[in-house]
Amino acid sequence: MLNTHPFQNQLNQSPGKVFQLTLPNSPGYSGRVTGIRLEQNMNSSAGQVNLILAWLGIVLGFASGFAFGLGFHNETWLGGYASFKRRLYRLAHISFFGLALVNFLFYLTAQKFTHASTMATVASWGFVAGAVTMPVCCFIMAHRPRFRALFLIPVVCLLSAGTLTLWEVVNL
Strand duo 18-22 + 33-37: pairing: antiparallel
Predicted TM-score (pTM) of the model is 0.71
88 CA to centre of own chain: 25
Name the least confident of 6-15, 83-92, 102-111, 147-156: 6-15
Q: What is the mean pLDDT of the chain?
A: 80
pLDDT band at 25 (very low <50, low <70, confident <90, very high): low
**Residue-level pLDDT at 56:** 97
CA separation for the pair 145, 124 (Å, rounded): 29
Residues 6+ apart with CB under 8 A from 97: 57, 58, 61
Most confident of 17-21, 76-80, 145-149: 145-149
